């Protein structure tokens, strides 16, 4: 019998680099999620229709070649914090016992507060710009008194000046616990005074610390909107955009605390804005927002800022986004008691050296 023929063994196939490559992801959220391919022209058109604010003269930013950089949209010139006008609850605490807090409206004086604030706001944003193309974009609490304040503010502006409005529930008032018993609420506020304004939580309601948590989420939304140019219509790059937050006294103080990284002690020393009052965060020489660009030192002291906080606002006037003020109390060794002044100076010098 003829011996069976045997085929020679196949030569081993060289391992391709593609087969040996390992996919490494840096976040558990992406595990098992297919990696997105670089968009084609068709998918780019679809993305541009969904997010028109990301469109640049070269197409949507995600479709640009990696080596081609397009400057980011200009930051809004100002972020203006406005407290609602005088409300029915401000003049009659019994209103909270019969009307839900979100439905408390403005008084006649409150409407005047709102309209007066609108006129002041218009004078502010229409002066000092490079041209006559200024606009305003509003974020507003969904409570009745803030929505009415927004309408009062809006009477000072033509439609073409209003870039947009967004109702933002995270800007709502601190929750004091549904319908309020007037006598019991007075007792609770006295307990809050002894316990601490930031951490005391009203029964069935919120503490200022709870408001801080939701304002942190809103702050991230606002920063993302600024970074992607949410306030800029497609194809525009207006440097005279102004963002206005129409909200409530404590909520606005917590917003400032979160933005500037103030401590609990610093927060508890702040005064409330008057009804229809406003604070202006304006970009300084380096592009960061400072309260001292528009306001005086005396005005900030009256609001409750300490010497350390005012010095930080001076630094904010010339600093650039991304820089850190190592001299500020929240960034230095001020929380420790065993350091000498020499230790603090040496630590500061080492941080400032490249």
| Residues forming the active site | 84, 173
164 annotated binding-site participant: no
Does 350 count as an annotated binding residue?
Answer: no
90 is in an annotated binding site: yes
Nearest to 290 by CA among 113, 299, 225: 299
86 is in an annotated binding site: yes
Residue 280 φ/ψ, nearest 5 degrees: -115, 120
Q: What is the largest CA-CA distance in the chain?
A: 116
| 85 known member of a binding site | yes
Strands 78-83 and 278-283: antiparallel
Q: Annotated binding residue at 189? A: no
**Cβ atoms within 10 Å, residue 346:** 12
Q: Is residue 112 marked as binding?
A: no
Q: Which residues are annotated as a binding site for substrate?
A: 83-90, 145, 184
Which residues are annotated as part of the binding site?
83-90, 145, 184
């Amino acid at each position: 019998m003829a011996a069976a023929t045997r085929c020679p063994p196949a030569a081993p196939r060289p391992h391709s680099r593609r087969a040996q490559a390992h996919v490494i992801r840096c976040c558990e959220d992406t595990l098992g999620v297919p990696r997105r391919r670089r968009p084609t022209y068709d998918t780019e058109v679809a993305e541009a229709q969904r997010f028109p604010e990301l469109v640049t003269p070269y197409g949507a930013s995600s479709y640009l070649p990696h080596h081609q950089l397009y400057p980011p949209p200009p930051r809004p010139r100002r972020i203006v914090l406005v407290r609602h006008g005088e409300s029915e609850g401000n003049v009659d605490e019994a209103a909270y016992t019969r009307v839900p807090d979100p439905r408390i409206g403005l008084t006649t004086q409150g409407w005047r507060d709102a309209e007066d604030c609108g006129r002041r706001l218009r004078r502010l944003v229409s002066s000092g710009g490079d041209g006559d193309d200024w606009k305003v974009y509003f974020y507003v609490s969904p409570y009745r008194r803030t929505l009415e304040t927004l309408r009062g503010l809006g009477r000072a502006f033509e439609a073409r000046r209003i870039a947009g409005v967004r109702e933002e529930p995270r800007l709502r008032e601190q929750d004091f616990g549904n319908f309020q018993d007037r006598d019991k609420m007075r007792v609770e506020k006295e307990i809050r005074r002894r316990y601490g304004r930031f951490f005391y939580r009203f029964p069935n309601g919120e503490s200022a610390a709870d408001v801080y948590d939701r304002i942190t989420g809103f702050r991230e939304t606002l920063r993302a909107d600024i970074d992607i140019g949410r306030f800029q219509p497609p194809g525009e790059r207006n440097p005279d955009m102004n963002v206005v937050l129409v909200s409530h006294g404590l909520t606005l103080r917590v917003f400032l605390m979160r933005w500037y990284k103030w401590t609990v002690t610093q927060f508890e020393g702040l005064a409330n804005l008057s009804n229809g009052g406003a604070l202006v965060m304006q970009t300084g020489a380096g592009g960061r927002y400072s309260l001292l660009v528009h306001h005086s030192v005396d005005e900030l002291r009256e609001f409750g800022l300490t010497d350390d906080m005012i010095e930080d606002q001076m630094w904010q006037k010339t600093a650039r986004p991304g820089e850190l003020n190592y001299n500020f109390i929240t960034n230095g060794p001020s929380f420790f008691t065993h350091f000498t002044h020499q230790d603090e100076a040496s630590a500061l010098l080492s941080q400032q050296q490249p």
